[in-house]
Structure 1
Amino acid sequence: MSVWLRPGFARHLKIPPNFRMLLLLTLALPLLAQASNPARTSAPALDRTITIATGEYPPWVGSSLPHNGYVNHIINEAFASQGLKVEFVYLPWKRAFEETRQGKFDATSYWYENDERREAMLFSDTVITNRIVFFQRADAPKVQWKTFNDLAPYRMSITLGYTYSGEFYQAIDSKLLNPIIVSSDVQNLKLLMAKRVDFFATDEMSGYYMAAQLSIDPRKLAVIEPALIKPQGYLLAGKINPDSQLIINTFNRGLRTIKANGKYQKILNRIDATSFYNPNAKTQNSSAR
């Protein structure tokens, strides 16, 4: 309730000084309470469809995958929990990043961290944690490694433009490692199965997914432990976009919501229920939401 007093009104009233002070405090207390409790003020809200530039990286993201892939499913559910719809636009990865940086899209999904991205983008909370591993043939002698020196005697291949660790690139620059560089992970897998390399590095889930697409039994592949890196994946928003902080805050709030209500874990459970990852897995839960 608001109270309006005509200017000079108090001068015409015969009010004792102590009551006058009480009146002023009564009028001021609601304002002071609101100032001391910002949570009571209404926060700005988005009221439009969120456009997200993304790319092809199955099974995590992909235009032909159920729910646009596991990561984009998480992102969609997080925004949906905040009452927002999402439109995914599939582009080459470099273009998806650049056009989001320029503010043409609200956000882009999904990316690992590096200095260039930190400089241009706002990062969400962690959406997913991946495992970049070395794959070898299951019928080959087991490769064991602790340092890159242990890998030096072997033949390996990597994908041009892929995000590996800084230490891995340093080992290549120093000529300690001399990998074959190809344009796609599919080429890496074909080289491995043809016994032209001893192992290659890629995301663990993506490696198994590619094998399934090429009709390769996943039991013919073996993961070399430990993982090369365990990068965290994020939703990014261009700093040039005036709504970028609001978009990230809204997404983070939604991510916390779906983790609390169990939807996040249900999406992750779909991974364990997929036959491309485990040939003995049951598939009846593959559509769980």
Structure 2
Amino acid sequence: MIAKSLFKLSSCSVALMISLILGTNSHAATMTFSVVDYPPYILVDEKNNRISGMDVDIVKAAFASQGQEVSFNVLPWKRIVKSMELGLILGTVSCSKRASRDAFMLFSEPLSNVSRSIVSRTSLDTSQVQELSDLSKFSIVTVDGWGMQKKLIENELEHQSAPDLDSAIKAVMYRDVDLLYMAEYPARYSIKKLDIEEDLKVTSLINEPSLPLHLCISRDFPNATDILRTANKGLYTIKENGLLDEIRAKYLSHN
């Protein structure tokens, strides 16, 4: 009996420590989502300690419509996924739904969509590239650990990987790599930022379906189901009042 009481006390102490470290996630407290730089959906400005972006603004607006504050911090993507699997963090933004994640993630209604595309030098003829299988004729690079790499692996397409999007684009620009397989909007944003729009082009894969991006919540995090319900209610609210379209237009109208 004493042993059981000590065990319960120990468990409560661990829960309290986690709550203090990560922040409580009751409706009254600020909830924190962990993210990676994924322009234009998530924009991380380390110099000014600022996190913004289309999906970040959508998530903020959705929860704000329900009287809930949210914040964001930056972690490496692999750590985010592993921490969600263990129930150590609340969740992340701009995450795709896949079977391997169903066991430990809950998915909101879509925040936005990703259209698959390729980045190449402007001089390369890509007129015959319309679907994923067409990439087999070229040397390919993608970003390590991102959904696009998973797709290449599933289709047994040989490729190189880069640690981040800017490095992958530079591989096409300066190394002997034909194509970067990447989501359209992040690719365009990064090319513009690097000021190499005249040297590289982005070609949509017209036969590849777009991929919805979600707010993803760890199933084992406290109140996960309630948080998901609040998120979906908020997304419905800002869709109905037009704020969702305003946020998207702010980031995507230039395209």
TM-score range, shorter chain: 0.7 to 0.9
Aligned to 1:136: 120
1:63 partner amino acid:
V
Deviates more, 1:143-152 or 1:52-61: 143-152
Q: Identity over aligned residues, as a percent?
A: 24
Q: CA RMSD in A?
A: 2.5
Query: Whole-Å Cα distance in 2 between the matches of residues 171 and 105 of structure 1?
Result: 32
Q: How does 1:30-179 map to 2 (within 5 A)?
A: 46-64=27-45, 68-146=52-130, 148-164=132-148, 168-172=152-156, 177-179=157-159
Asked if the contact 1:99–1:105 (Cα under 8 Å) also holds between the matched residues in 2, the reply is yes
Aligned partner of residue 250 in structure 2, secondary structure: helix
**TM-score with structure 1 setting the length:** 0.70
Cα pair 2:131 2:208 within 8 Å, conserved: no
Query: How many residues are treated as equivalent by the alignment?
Result: 227
1:183 maps to a residue whose letter is P
Larger radius of gyration: 1
Q: Give the match for residue 197 of structure 1.
A: 177
TM-superposed CA distance for 1:119, in Å, is 0.6
Aligned-residue offset at 1:130: 0.9
Structure 1 letter corresponding to 2:126? K
Give secondary structure in 1 for the equivalent of 2:92: strand
Alpha-carbon contact 2:28-2:68 (below 8 Å) kept = yes
Q: Which has the higher contact order (CA 8 A, sep 6+)?
A: 2
**2:161 corresponds to:** 181
- Structure in which a larger fraction of residues adopt strand: 2
Structure 2 gap segments, 5+ residues each: 1-25
Q: Whole-Å Cα distance in 2 between the matches of residues 225 and 206 of structure 1? A: 15
- In the alignment, structure 1 segments of 5+ residues that lack a partner are 1-44, 278-289
With the length of structure 2 as denominator, give the TM-score of the two structures. 0.79
Amino acid of the structure 2 residue aligned with 1:125 = E
Q: Secondary structure at the match of 2:126?
A: coil
Amino acid at match of 1:132: R
The residue identity in structure 1 corresponding to 2:28 is D
- CA 1:241–1:272 in structure 2 vs 1: closer, same or farther (change >3 Å)? closer
- Shift of the 210–149 alpha-carbon distance from structure 1 to 2, 3 Å rule, reads closer
**CA 1:152–1:264: 2 relative to 1, 3 Å:** same
Deviation at 1:116, TM superposition (A): 2.5
Distance 1:218 1:246 in 2: 48
Inter-partner Cα distance in structure 2 for 1:79 and 1:205: 25
Report if the CA contact (8 A) 1:144-1:225 is conserved: no
